[in-house]
Amino acid sequence: MDIDSRQVKIVQMFDDIASTYDRANRVLSMGIDVSWRKKACDIAFDKLGRKEVKMIVDVACGTGDMIGFWQKRSQKKGVDVKRILGVDPSSQMLSIAKKKFKGFDFIKARADDIPLPNECADIVSISYGIRNVLKRKEAFKEFARVVKEGGFVVILEFTKESKSGFSQKIKQVYLNKILPFIGGFISKNYEAYKYLPSSIEGFLTSSMLEKELLDVGFKTCYSKSFSMGISTLIIAKKC
């Protein structure tokens, strides 16, 4: 199966689990992802250092969770964001996002082919989606094209750890045993939630991800793992 066919299959998987996606996420993360998302927004706004932001583009926006956090955290920090745009290739995910966030703009598109003009966004974010982008390097080039000079890319992701230890053993038990069972039970799609741990295991370490960002002109200014290394936040500036 070629790379484009594999990508279509992944998008179809997200179409299939769209109706239960939010509920499964909250249960599986035990709500901890809320603090990760808040931190990502707050640090990005602090790094940007502006009280007016013309546009934030949230790629692989899914059902729109991160869009809600960008909106709420900007209001809390007194940042006037003129436009928040969601981009995702799954029509079912976007359908739910549009119902949840009326008045926001959404585009059906892949991360490696974003139909936006050059240097139009102050921030491009992608939360738990970059490992599902098979043409990742092409997507990073698109992020670099869309982000203004001095702007930021914000990535939240499940990354592979280069170290081993007790915490990593606990993480592996959760990802390989508990997550597929609970996610499959909620969604009735066990294959989709078996895919998650395998996609993490086949993904990059945070340092490898930072290197790929640097190759397209983003210099990492913040990188940290949370909750025993389950989630990693990377914020990089376009130089």
Q: What is the mean pLDDT of the chain?
A: 87
SS (H, E, C) the chain: CCHHHHHHHHHHHHHHHHHHHHHHHHHHHCCCHHHHHHHHHHHHHHHHCCCEECCEEEECCCCCHHHHHHHHHHHHCCCEECCEEEEECCHHHHHHHHHHCCCCEEEECCCCCCCCCCCCEEEEEEECCHHHCCCHHHHHHHHHHHEEEEEEEEEEECCCCCCCCHHHHHHHHHHHHHHHHHHHHHHCCHHHHHHHHHHHHCCCCHHHHHHHHHHCCEEEEEEEEECCCCEEEEEEEEC
- Per-residue pLDDT, averaged over 206-217, amounts to 94
Does the model's pTM come out above 0.85?
yes
Render pLDDT for 119-150 as a digit per residue (tens, 0 to 9): 999 999 999 889 889 999 999 999 999 999 99
Q: Check if CATH label 2.140.10.10 holds for domain 3-162+204-238.
A: no
